[in-house]
Amino acid sequence: MNQRRSFLKASLVLASASSLPMVGKASMVTSAERKLSLYNTHTGESVNRVFWAEGKFDPDALQDINKVLRDHRNNAVAAIDPQLLLLLDQVNGRMESNKTLHIISGYRSPESNAMLNANTSGVAKHSMHMDGKAIDIRMPGRNLAQLRKAAMSLRGGGVGYYPDSQFVHMDTGRLRSW
């Protein structure tokens, strides 16, 4: 009975580890650098930084990225989930590109989110943008449907497709798509 219980526990651990999203596995890599080039379409600001190297995130780079991804309506800055940055890096890899990602929306303050929720359809009342765990992007010169497909293939969280508004939503929440 003990052998069977040990086998079942080991099987459960192995199954759990193999179901981790690619972003989780990417964060375990220690030799490669991760770099992002981001352009905020509302502020005109950009950042092009290595945000992960030598097995860890660079706090100065994260600060620069947080500033560019701030809420452009009131300049509120918040920490962006580093796992989201890894997802963005992986999307570039899947698209076989190191192009600049255009940011439509990064962090969104509760005040901005409430205003958008009241005035715009499709804005979640408890948006993950308010937690720094969601981003809306496009990649100029690249097909939006392919960007969506690349984001979905990562299985790193939610992916929303907004072809009329020309962006793809990505978040580090539970796996889902719309």
Q: pTM for the full model?
A: 0.81
Counting the structural domains of the chain, the total is 1
Which residue matches tokens 């890599």?
A: 29
Which residue range(s) make up the domain with 135? 21-177
Return the structure tokens found at 126. Answer: 């408890």
Q: Give per-residue pLDDT as tens, 119-174.
A: 988 889 999 999 999 999 999 999 999 999 999 999 999 999 999 999 999 999 99
Answer yes or no: is pLDDT of 8 > 80. Answer: no
Q: Is residue 2 part of a domain?
A: no
Q: Is residue 171 part of a domain?
A: yes
Q: Is residue 64 part of a domain?
A: yes
- The proportion of the chain whose per-residue pLDDT surpasses 90, expressed as a percent, equals 77
Residue 37, domain CATH: 3.30.1380
Q: Is residue 121 part of a domain?
A: yes
Q: Is residue 3 part of a domain?
A: no
Give the pLDDT of residue 31.
54
21 pLDDT tier (thresholds 50, 70, 90): very low
Termini Cα distance of the chain: 45
Q: Give per-residue pLDDT as tens, 75-134.
A: 999 999 999 999 999 999 999 887 899 999 999 999 999 999 999 888 899 999 999 999
Q: Is residue 92 part of a domain?
A: yes
Task: Give the span between the Cα atoms of 141 and 66, in whole angstroms.
Answer: 25
**Amino acid at the residue 25:** K
1 pLDDT tier (thresholds 50, 70, 90): low
Helix (H, G, I), strand (E, B) or coil at 88: helix
Torsion over CA: 52, 56, 57, 61 (sign) = negative
Give the pLDDT of residue 26.
42
Q: Is residue 10 part of a domain?
A: no
